[in-house]
Structure 1
Amino acid sequence: MTANFHDYWSDVFVAYGTFVLGALSPGPALLSTMGAAMSSGRKTGVMVALGVVCGSFTWGLIAAVGLSYILSTYSNALSVVRIGGGGYLLFLAFKALRSASSAKLLTANSWGVAASPWSSFVRGYGIHMTNPKGMFAWIAVISMGLKPGAPNWVAPVILAGAMLFALIYYVAVALLFSTARMVSTYGKARRWIDGLLGVFYIFAAWKLVTL
């Protein structure tokens, strides 16, 4: 594995970068975690975060297993997956750059009264699983590392690294964003984050379709 890793590490880390910047961009999972922490406290926020992470893992596992099966069964499928993934990344780039040009304020989703830990976890899981963009995003992320002849360990390594980041990141959000001040600070940086995200998605799309 060590020798092979040097042949694929650059693609694996581009996949990591795509996942990380996607997580930084405001979306239902991030805003719901913020809202839960702000309105119901850190404990509720952490449980929502854990639910979001498990939902992301579910989509990632489905994408990894599905892509591995498709690519092992249909030798020409990789080109189709990359074109589709590249198109989706360009769509995300358009949305991110459009958001960066907007002066709209960032508002976290209202959560209401504190819920039980289990119901908070289920709600976080459901938020991620009912968002079909999660599947498309994971297909794009994992396909970044699947160059022709990629060994079987590439997809699991991408999934494991991305989920380690997701666990640390969303729990940190729940712990830190329990005050309105933190949301305000993040909101001031939103346009820069979206702009960076848009540029990176364009790069990732180009890299994906030209591998």
Structure 2
Amino acid sequence: MVNWAAVLAVFSVYCAGVVIPGPNFVAVAHKAASSTITEAFMLVAGIVVVNLFWATCAILGIGMVFTLLPWLAVVIKFLGAAYLIWFGARLIVLRGAGLNSAPGSPAVTRRKAFLQGVATNIANPKSIAFYAAIFSAAAPPHVSIETFAAMLAVVAIVASLWYGFVAMALSHRRVADAYRKQKRWIDSVCGSVIILLGVRQMLR
């Protein structure tokens, strides 16, 4: 039997958490403006898969694991922050690149976009902190399989709708054309934002 009160609590908490801009939002926005809508959706798919992984860990008690092993939370935080700093720096260094280069095969570019979404979210300190502290607190212990499935469905649907909306909105032709005209500047801004998010997380 589904515990709808618990599912609603998770829904409320997750809606509030997912719309707060962070590395995932920046990655989706950049991919949508700089690439095809298919690649943007593949990146979103990678983010959603990792969200389901973190949600599963939270429901099963990842918050308790971090409480018992606080050093593990610190290690994950620093590794994630380091990845964000590297990713942002790479974006800045390679700004302007690829405007005239031939793209790879559709299968390759879609796979790369999916893996980029996975890497961005798996190393996202904001996601880790949210699921370990807030999401796990909203999810009661020892839920039924039906409630467990309903909670994961909430995560999948909300994340897909939100990031899918961002991808569609920013892949509009006018937005894409504006991006191509200002690619070097926009890549620098996006890279700087991601670096700042990584530094901020490392110093917290």
TM bucket normalised to smaller: 0.5 to 0.7
Specify the alignment match of 1:57 in structure 2.
48
Instruction: Choose 50-59 or 200-209, whichever is displaced more.
Output: 50-59
Does residue 135 of the first structure (1) align with residue 118 of the second (2)?
yes
Specify the alignment match of 1:21 in structure 2.
26
Specify the alignment match of 1:209 in structure 2.
202
CA deviation profile, 1:8-55 (whole Å, cap 9, x unmatched): x7xx4796332221122248x962x25xxxxxxxxxx6xx76555434
- Asked if structure 2 preserves the Cα contact closer than 8 Å seen for 1:20 and 1:165, the reply is no
Specify the alignment match of 1:190 in structure 2.
183
**Distance of aligned partners of 1:197 and 1:49 in 2 relative to their CA distance in 1, 3 Å threshold:** closer
How many residue pairs are counted as aligned between the two chains? 174
Hey, what's the Cα distance between the residues in 1 that align with 2:42 and 2:192? Answer: 30
SS for the counterpart of 1:199 is: helix
**Unpaired segments of 5 or more residues in structure 2?**
1-8, 140-151
Specify the alignment match of 2:65 in structure 1.
73
TM-score (norm 2): 0.60
- Asked if structure 1 preserves the Cα contact closer than 8 Å seen for 2:42 and 2:110, the reply is yes
Does residue 87 of the first structure (1) align with residue 82 of the second (2)?
yes
Hey, what's the Cα distance between the residues in 2 that align with 1:210 and 1:202? Answer: 12
Deviation for aligned residue 1:193:
1.9
CA deviation profile, 1:81-133 (whole Å, cap 9, x unmatched): 11111110110121122133xx4352597699xxxxxxx9x99875544x2x3
- Asked if structure 1 preserves the Cα contact closer than 8 Å seen for 2:23 and 2:197, the reply is yes
- Please tell me the root mean square deviation across aligned C-alpha atoms, in Å: 4.2
- Asked if structure 2 preserves the Cα contact closer than 8 Å seen for 1:142 and 1:158, the reply is no
CA deviation profile, 1:142-186 (whole Å, cap 9, x unmatched): 125357x434249x8987665333211333456x34xxx864432
Residue identity over aligned pairs, in percent, reads 17
Report matched runs for 1:128-167 at 5 Å. 128-129=113-114, 131=115, 133-139=116-122, 140=124, 141-145=126-130, 149-152=133-136, 153=138, 162-167=159-164
**Distance of aligned partners of 1:89 and 1:158 in 2 relative to their CA distance in 1, 3 Å threshold:** farther
Specify the alignment match of 1:98 in structure 2.
93
TM-score (norm 1): 0.58
**Unpaired segments of 5 or more residues in structure 1?**
35-44, 113-119
Deviation for aligned residue 1:78:
1.5
**Distance of aligned partners of 1:25 and 1:166 in 2 relative to their CA distance in 1, 3 Å threshold:** same
Does residue 168 of the first structure (1) align with residue 165 of the second (2)?
yes
